[in-house]
C-alpha cells in the first residue's frame, strides 16, 4: 500500500475541518503532523530541486484548493490537442518516474492533496450544467497518479457514483497503480474509464520507480473490465532503447490477451518529451537512467523530442500492432504535429476533429 511510504504530513491552516482530512489522518496513525499557516512556507529552492524532490515522495500536504479544480488540458501551440479536461485534485504522487515532467516545475516538497471535495463536486455540477449539450471527457491524472493514494483519500469512491449520474460526461482515472478492489463493487459504470500508462517491463523496472508491474496493471485492467468499467491505455511516453521493437510488440500482445476490445474506449501514443532543464535533473536524480543520453532535438514547443522520423516509425509500428491486438479501438497521438499525424495515419485532424472522434467513442454511453 502506498500510504506506508508517507513519513510526514503538513496540514495547511483552514484544511482541518474537512472530511477528507479526517479520513487521511485516521489512516496514518503515528505519522507526525505539523500545522502550517500556508503552503508557501514549504517552497523549495529552485537550485536544490534534485535534493528535495525525493523527500517530497514521502511527505503529504493537506490543503484547500482555492482556485478552480476544473481546467482545460494545457495543450501546446502547433500540436494537436484532444480537448481533454483536467480535474486538479492534487499535485505530485508517491511514484517516482525518471521522466515525470512534474519534478521539473513543482516547487512544494510534498504531495499536495486538496481536501475540499465538496467544492469540487459543486464546481462539477455548475460546469456540467452550464453546457448540457456538450460531451465532457474529464480526468484526474494530469498532475499526479489517480489511484496510488486512493486508499488514503477515498476520492474515487465519491467520484465514481457522481459520474454515474451524469448524462454527458465521463471520468478517466489514469494510473500506474493496480489496487482497485474497493472500487469494483461500484460497477458496472461505463461512464468511468480506468486508464493505465504502459511501458515494457524493463522500462518499468528502470524508469518507473515504485509503480506497479506490467503484470499487475494488466490484471487490474481485466478486473475493471469484468466489473463493468471501460478501459483506456496510454503508451506515453514511448521510449526508444535498443530492442524497443520486440519489447513493445510483446507488451501489445500481453495487452491484447488481457483487455476485451469492446471495453477499450481509446489508446494514446506519445513520444518521450520534456523541457531542456529536465535533462540535467534526470541525470542528477537518476544517474543510471539512459533517457537523458538519447539524442533529441528542440521542437517548436520548446521541448526536447526524438527526431521526427524516429517518432513516426515508433508510432506506425505501435499502431499496426495495436490494431491487430485490439481491433476497433481508437488510436490517437498525444500532443503531436499535423505532419506526424499525416505520416502515421494518412490524415490529420482539423479544428475539433480529434475531440469529436473521442467524444463519439463515448457518446453512445453517455446519451
Q: Residue with C-alpha cell 521542437?
A: 299
pLDDT at 367 over 60: no
User: Angle, to 10 degrees, between the axis of helix 117-130 and the axis of helix 155-164?
Assistant: 20
Tell me the pLDDT of the chain averaged across its residues. 93
Domain with residues 65-106+116-366, CATH architecture = Alpha-Beta Horseshoe (3.80)
The set of cell numbers assigned to 334 is: 498525444
pLDDT at 194 over 70: yes
Residue 20 is inside which H or E element, if any? helix 19-26
Cα–Cα nearest to 12, from 4, 27, 24: 24
Cα–Cα nearest to 330, from 354, 349, 352: 354
pLDDT at 292: 76
Distance, CA of 35 to CA of 27 (rounded, Å): 18
The set of cell numbers assigned to 158 is: 465519491
Domain ranges of the chain: 65-106+116-366
The DSSP call for residue 77 is T
Percentage of the chain with pLDDT > 90?
A: 79
Cα–Cα nearest to 116, from 15, 37, 25, 23: 15
Over the stretch 314-349, which tens digit does the pLDDT of each residue have? 999 999 999 999 999 999 999 999 999 999 999 999
Alpha-carbon distances of 119 from 44, 187, 284, rounded to whole Å: 28, 25, 39
Give the pLDDT band of residue 363 (cuts 50, 70, 90). confident
Over the stretch 278-323, which tens digit does the pLDDT of each residue have? 999 999 999 999 887 789 999 998 999 999 999 999 999 999 999 9
The set of cell numbers assigned to 198 is: 504502459
What is the pTM (predicted TM-score) of this model? 0.95
Amino acid at each position: 500500500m502506498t500510504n506506508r511510504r508517507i513519513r510526514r504530513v503538513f496540514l495547511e491552516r483552514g484544511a482541518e475541518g474537512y472530511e477528507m482530512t479526517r479520513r487521511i489522518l485516521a489512516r496514518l496513525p503515528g505519522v507526525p503532523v505539523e500545522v502550517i499557516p500556508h503552503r508557501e512556507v514549504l517552497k523549495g529552492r529552485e537550485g536544490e530541486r534534485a535534493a528535495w524532490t525525493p523527500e517530497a515522495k514521502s511527505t503529504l500536504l493537506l490543503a484547500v484548493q482555492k482556485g478552480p479544480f476544473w481546467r482545460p488540458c494545457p495543450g501546446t501551440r502547433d500540436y494537436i490537442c484532444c480537448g481533454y479536461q483536467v480535474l486538479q485534485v492534487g499535485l505530485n504522487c508517491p511514484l517516482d518516474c525518471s521522466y515525470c515532467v512534474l519534478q521539473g516545475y513543482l516547487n512544494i516538497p510534498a504531495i499536495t492533496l486538496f481536501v475540499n471535495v465538496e467544492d469540487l463536486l459543486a464546481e462539477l455540477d455548475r460546469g456540467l450544467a452550464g453546457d448540457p449539450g456538450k460531451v465532457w471527457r474529464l480526468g484526474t491524472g494530469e498532475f499526479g497518479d489517480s489511484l496510488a493514494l486512493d486508499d488514503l483519500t477515498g476520492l474515487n469512491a465519491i467520484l465514481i457514483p457522481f459520474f454515474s449520474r451524469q448524462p454527458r460526461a465521463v471520468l478517466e482515472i489514469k494510473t500506474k497503480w493496480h489496487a482497485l478492489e474497493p472500487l469494483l463493487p461500484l460497477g458496472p459504470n461505463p461512464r468511468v474509464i480506468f486508464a493505465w500508462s504502459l511501458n515494457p517491463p524493463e522500462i518499468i523496472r528502470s524508469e518507473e520507480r515504485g509503480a506497479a508491474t506490467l503484470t499487475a496493471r494488466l490484471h487490474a485492467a481485466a478486473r475493471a473490465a469484468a466489473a463493468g468499467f471501460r478501459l483506456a491505455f496510454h503508451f506515453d511516453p514511448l521510449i526508444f532503447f535498443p530492442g524497443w521493437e520486440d519489447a513493445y510488440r510483446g507488451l501489445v500482445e500481453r495487452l491484447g490477451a488481457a483487455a476485451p476490445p469492446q471495453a477499450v474506449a481509446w489508446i494514446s501514443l506519445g513520444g518521450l518529451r520534456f523541457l531542456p532543464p529536465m535533462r540535467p535533473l534526470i541525470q542528477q536524480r537518476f544517474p543510471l537512467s539512459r533517457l537523458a543520453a538519447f539524442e533529441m532535438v528542440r521542437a517548436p514547443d520548446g521541448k526536447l523530442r526524438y527526431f521526427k522520423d524516429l517518432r513516426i516509425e515508433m508510432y506506425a509500428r505501435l499502431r499496426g500492432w495495436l490494431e491487430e491486438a485490439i481491433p476497433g479501438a481508437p488510436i490517437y497521438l498525444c500532443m503531436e504535429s499535423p505532419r506526424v499525424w499525416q505520416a502515421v495515419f494518412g490524415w490529420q485532424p482539423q479544428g475539433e476533429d480529434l475531440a469529436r472522434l473521442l467524444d463519439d467513442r463515448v457518446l453512445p454511453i453517455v446519451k
